[in-house]
Amino acid sequence: MNNWDWSAVADFMPRFWDGLLLTLQVLVLGSLLSFTLGLVWAIGFRAPTRFVRWPVNVITEFIRNTPLLVQLFFFFFVLPEWGVQFSGLTTGTIAIGLHYSTYTAQVYRAGIDAVPPGQWEAATALSLPAGRTWMAVILPQAIRRIVPALGNYVISMLKDTPLLAGISVLEMLQQSRLESAATFQYTEPLTVVGIAFILIAYPASLLMRALERRLVR
């Protein structure tokens, strides 16, 4: 540990906070997108016709089993060819949200399957319309127990945000690369970023474990 330079850490800090802010921004928007889209997929899994179920299964399996990085490049390079111009940040947020929506869809599915069948039957017996059945009966019971699992995917998503550096989004990793390119100090910025991830992810995972104890019986 002979080459550590604290002043380089101090120099990196302004960029670091910018990067952290952008990372959190991607995380929040990406999470919201993945929660919404995941619910759409999950309802698609239960659609009455297999002409909906089958494509939804194929699409989500495909997205889930291919790397996020390649999907990022796909959207970043291919969308402009089709005439859709997005910034790297927008592309990255959409790609990460879409990718994780296929995970949250599985979480929603498990949560919805865990609602006792009697609840569906009761809703039918009360002749509730489909919308009310979902909004007032099924989802409130399902979502409660899947909050910790969704939270764990938010943490995974946080750890995947550095991939956005690949499409030159100025999140934490890219900021550290820029700093290194400007000052030729590779050690400190990258180490700071690595430690920052642990400092955010560990308390967050403790929080999820506590939530799991409280919400999942």
For binding to other proteins (CB under 8 A), which residues are involved? 1, 3-4, 62, 65-71, 73-74, 77-78, 81-82, 158-163, 165-166, 173, 177, 180, 186-187, 190-191, 193-194, 197-198, 201-202, 205
Instruction: Specify the residue, 1 or 125, whose C-beta has the smaller distance to other proteins.
Output: 1
- Return the number of the residue (2 or 49) whose C-beta is nearest other proteins: 2
Residue type, 41: W
Kindly give the residue spans of alpha helices, DSSP state H, lying in 46-167.
Answer: 50-64, 68-81, 88-113, 117-125, 130-132, 139-160
Minimum distance of other proteins from residue 37's CB (angstroms) = 18
Q: Closest separation between CB of residue 77 and other proteins, Å?
A: 4
- Distance between CA 163 and CA 171 in Å, rounded? 9
CB 179 → other proteins: shortest distance, Å? 12
Handedness of CA 166, 170, 173, 176 (dihedral sign): positive
Minimum distance from residue 61 beta carbon to other proteins (Å): 8
Question: What does the alpha-carbon distance between residue 183 and residue 175 come to, in Å, rounded to a whole number?
Answer: 12
- Rounded distance, CA 18 to CA 158, Å? 16
Least distance CB 155 / other proteins (angstroms)? 9
Q: CA–CA separation, 165 vs 189, rounded Å? A: 15
Residue from 3, 2, 17 nearest 192 by CA: 17
Specify the residue, 39 or 72, whose C-beta has the smaller distance to other proteins: 72
Q: What is the DSSP letter of 133?
A: I
Q: Is the dihedral of CA 80, 83, 89, 94 positive or negative?
A: negative
Q: Is the Cβ of residue 27 or residue 123 nearer to other proteins in the bound state? A: 27
Smaller CB distance to other proteins: residue 58 or 130?
Answer: 58
Taking the least distance from each CB to other proteins, the nearer of 51 and 82 is 82
Smallest distance, other proteins to C-beta of residue 132, A: 32
Structural contact between residues 46 and 112, judged by C-beta atoms closer than 8 angstroms: yes
